[in-house]
Copies of this chain bind each other. A is one copy, B any other.
Amino acid sequence: MRTLQEKASEWSGVSQNDAFAIDDTNLYEKLGHQTFINLSTNFYNRVYDDEEEWFRSIFANSKKEDAIQNQYEFFIQRMGGPPLFSQRRGHPALIGRHRPFPVTHQAAERWLHHMQEALDTTKDIDSDSKTKMMNFFRHTAFFLLCGSEKDRQCVCMDMYVRDGVEIAAFLPHTTDGDSEACSTCVEDVNV
């Protein structure tokens, strides 16, 4: 069974090394605190004004200013700055915290589309940092897609095709007793 990060690399086309090249440099020190606030503000301005209603509606019940703060605090923490997110909200727990949202392939691509535009139009983000961040975001979006499939009963993953797109299935394998994982999954818990 392939692991979650292997699937994320395969689907996103971004290797694990490229995805986490954000750790080769301290991007927080390089870009500065205000740049992250500007980036997230730019990004969510685009999201909340999206002409695609299906995408805009995913965020409709969250306050824009909260979405902005949650995002830049996570980015700052993850890219070498102070742990603002954890001090206020605890572990990032990316898969867990995305449970309320319909993380689909289409939504992942739309998110990435807006982020690319936000990166391109936020001042003081050099080309190398932009490439690193975009690789990180693309890999992470597909990591969440792999990890957020609904109706799973265990973590077994297999591929199937829906609407012409290869997506993950968390097969409802039989589990024994209290465990969420079937014997196959338990053999490889390194998801």
Q: Are B180 and A3 in contact (CB under 8 A)?
A: no
Task: Determine how many copies of this chain the complex contains.
Answer: 2
A20 near B140 with CB under 8 A, answer: no
Interface residues of A, CB < 8 Å — how many?
52
Residues 79-114 of A at the B interface (beta carbon under 8 Å): 82-83, 86-97, 99-102, 104
Q: Is A16 an interface residue (CB 8 A)?
A: yes
Please list 30 pairs of residues, one from A and one from B, whose beta carbons are closer than 8 Å in the complex, sorted by A's number: A3-B89, A4-B93, A4-B97, A5-B90, A8-B90, A16-B87, A16-B88, A20-B83, A20-B87, A20-B90, A23-B82, A60-B186, A61-B187, A62-B190, A66-B190, A70-B190, A89-B190, A90-B139, A90-B143, A91-B92, A91-B140, A92-B92, A93-B143, A99-B152, A99-B155, A99-B191, A100-B154, A100-B179, A101-B189, A102-B180
Q: Would you list the 3 A-B pairs with minimal beta carbon distance, nearest first? A: A95-B96, A100-B181, A5-B90
Residues of A within 8 A of B (CB): 3-5, 8, 16-17, 19-20, 23, 60-62, 66, 70, 82-83, 86-97, 99-102, 104, 139-140, 143, 147, 150, 152, 154-155, 178-181, 183, 185-187, 189-191
